[in-house]
Structure 1
Amino acid sequence: MPFHVIVGAGATALATAKLLAEKGDRVRLVSRRGTGAGHELVEPVALDATDAEALAELCQGAETVFNCAMAAYHTWPQALPPLFGAILAAAERSGADYVMLGNLYGYGPVDGPVTEDLPLLATGPKGLTRAQMWQDALESHTAGRVRVTEVRAGQFLGAGAFSSFTFTIQPRVLAGQLALTPAALDTRTGFTAIEDAARALVTLAGDERAFGRPWHAPVTNATAREVATVLAEVADAPAPRLETLTDRDIALLSLTSPLWAEFEETAHMSHHTFVVDSSRIETEFGLKATPLEEVLRSGIAAG
């Protein structure tokens, strides 16, 4: 029976574990809390994944190590290098393939469609960190120590998703209230369904063609207003009322939570057109974005 290790217990990690278990594979799901996925083939393990020695032991015999781990948003530059370094080292020592869940931050501001062939030119701390984590993994792949690939997802939607949209817009629209968001409302950007990201991770892990390069998860390019409008329609909620927070608003909110200050670095992904091209994964593997109506409906049903 194939065996895999998933590090992380967020929505995409849980969806990935479920997909693997449903096809009969055994999964070890590693997180600080030891969160489970509700399937007999998924074994939850409580572990601090920065403990490279202990993690390497848990990964012995695994075909794939999936890195779906995440740290608090404002701590990425400090927290991700030791965390991702330990996961990469565990994959190397176990002989498993290494599949990373990434995002689009590493590209920085882009003119024109965002493709996997673009250089990683981010200048902000979170984008620089994500770019470096991929470069470190790719160097290990090039040196022959491990086979590596990365799925780069857009802004998450769907059951369990946490993103700017699901944090600042979705609950307010569902409640029929004014939604205040740091995002611009009428510029297009890429959205990825949790289930689509999980499907991409599982598909790439099982195909020789995937390794040694990154892939964009299936995306739907839309504006925040368009997504909010579809959300209201499928929820039978009032038409959405949306406003973009001013810089002063965000500065004041940052006094209560460091999360708000972090949105400034990625403003180029909402205040300017940031259209993501995911045609490569569709052409090579037949993976397409789930329609927005279906994604948002599933997110509502999941609570």
Structure 2
Amino acid sequence: MSFYVVVGAGPVGRETARLLGEEGHDVVLTSRSVGSNTLRNVRAVQADATDASELARVCQGADAIFMCAMATYHRWPTDFFPIIDGTVRAAEAVGAKLIVLGNLYGYGESADSPLRSDLSLDPTSKKGTAPSIIEGKPTAFIGNLDATHAWAFTKDVARTLVAASRYTGEWGRAFHVPSQYASPRQLILKTAAMLRQEALEIRSYSTAEMEALGMHELIEMSYLFETPLLVDSSDAEMLLGIKASSLEVMIADTLRDHL
């Protein structure tokens, strides 16, 4: 049995803690407000990841730390870096492995698709909606509705993090979560079909509409949805043994949380 600390009690953090706890490990799930916890072998501990000393006390004796904390989207440029800095310094202080949940922002708008985990970082943005199909309302999304896009599933993300923590090769590298591919239009139509509903109007938000609705952060990141975005996860599949769940499983699990 090992001791693990999961920083961040959002969907990925909680699922990562659940997986580790179900394996019989001693797990601490920590964030500024961890809330209630009924996960097996998981203790909820309130701590601020920006305070490296406080977090190091929580992590003392940990075999690995999973950094799954995220900043509020519109405050990402100012709030995320103190979180990651505090977690890195805590991991260094206690001598624990560090597995970090990331995103694709760092590759930037000019990166060739499919994105590979060994590409150099060249961020375009300073950060480096799932509409109400359930209610049968017209659906709007951002970008090109017919551009094929990679979609990762929360539970696959957590499984990849856990598998990465046991990687025996050289560390200091990235792994891409195995994903499924569909255009936003295909995803919307498949979701409506699984709900046995007709997808009414499907359209893309204009920049003016996003500005009027206060969706300024999405305007900045809309380049991710303008052209096909594919992700090469072959190394994660081969080295970590992780496969992507089907789109049907992803959608069904997401719908269970909203029905």
Q: In the alignment, does 2:17 pair up with 1:17?
A: yes
| 1:138-167 CA distance string (max 9 Å, x none) | xxxxxxxxxxxxxxxxxxxxxxxxxx3x3x
Q: CA deviation at 1:37?
A: 4.1
Aligned residues of 1:36 and 1:43 also touching (Cα < 8 A): no
| Secondary structure in 2 matching 1:27 | strand
What is the number of equivalent residue pairs in this alignment? Answer: 257
Query: How do 1:130-279 and structure 2 match up within 5 A?
Result: 164=129, 166=130, 169=131, 172-209=132-169, 211-254=171-214, 260-279=215-234
Q: CA deviation at 1:240?
A: 4.9
In 1, the alpha carbon distance for the partners of 2:159 and 2:34 equals 23
In 2, the alpha carbon distance for the partners of 1:219 and 1:243 equals 24
Structure 2 partner of 1:46: 46
Q: Which of these residues, 213, 231, 242, is aligned with residue 287 of structure 1? A: 242
In 2, the alpha carbon distance for the partners of 1:101 and 1:63 equals 17
Aligned residues of 1:235 and 1:297 also touching (Cα < 8 A): no
Query: How do 1:7-156 and structure 2 match up within 5 A?
Result: 7-109=7-109, 110-127=111-128
- Paired residue type of 2:115: V
Q: CA deviation at 1:31?
A: 0.9
In 1, the alpha carbon distance for the partners of 2:188 and 2:222 equals 19
Relative distance call for 1:202 and 1:267 in structure 2 (3 A) is same
Relative distance call for 1:78 and 1:188 in structure 2 (3 A) is same
Query: Given the two structures, how large is their TM-score scaled by the length of structure 1?
Result: 0.82
Aligned residues of 1:175 and 1:237 also touching (Cα < 8 A): no
Aligned-residue RMSD, C-alpha: 1.4
Aligned residues of 1:251 and 1:261 also touching (Cα < 8 A): yes
In 1, the alpha carbon distance for the partners of 2:170 and 2:179 equals 18
Aligned residues of 1:18 and 1:37 also touching (Cα < 8 A): no
Moved more, 38-47 or 199-208: 38-47
In 1, the alpha carbon distance for the partners of 2:146 and 2:161 equals 30
In 2, the alpha carbon distance for the partners of 1:210 and 1:281 equals 14
Q: Give the gaps of 5 or more residues in structure 1.
A: 128-163, 255-259
| Secondary structure in 1 matching 2:101 | strand
Aligned residues of 1:187 and 1:273 also touching (Cα < 8 A): yes
Q: CA deviation at 1:278?
A: 1.2
In 1, the alpha carbon distance for the partners of 2:35 and 2:152 equals 23
Aligned residues of 2:18 and 2:40 also touching (Cα < 8 A): no
Q: Give the gaps of 5 or more residues in structure 2.
A: none
Q: CA deviation at 1:265?
A: 2.2
Structure 2 partner of 1:6: 6
In 1, the alpha carbon distance for the partners of 2:122 and 2:40 equals 43
Aligned residues of 2:133 and 2:192 also touching (Cα < 8 A): yes
Q: CA deviation at 1:237?
A: 2.0
| Secondary structure in 1 matching 2:102 | strand
| Larger fraction in strand | 1
| Secondary structure in 1 matching 2:82 | helix
| 1:109-150 CA distance string (max 9 Å, x none) | 1233111121111131001xxxxxxxxxxxxxxxxxxxxxxx
| Secondary structure in 2 matching 1:215 | coil
Structure 2 partner of 1:145: none
- Paired residue type of 1:35: G
Moved more, 50-59 or 176-185: 176-185
Aligned residues of 1:29 and 1:35 also touching (Cα < 8 A): no
In 1, the alpha carbon distance for the partners of 2:204 and 2:30 equals 38
Q: CA deviation at 1:234?
A: 1.6
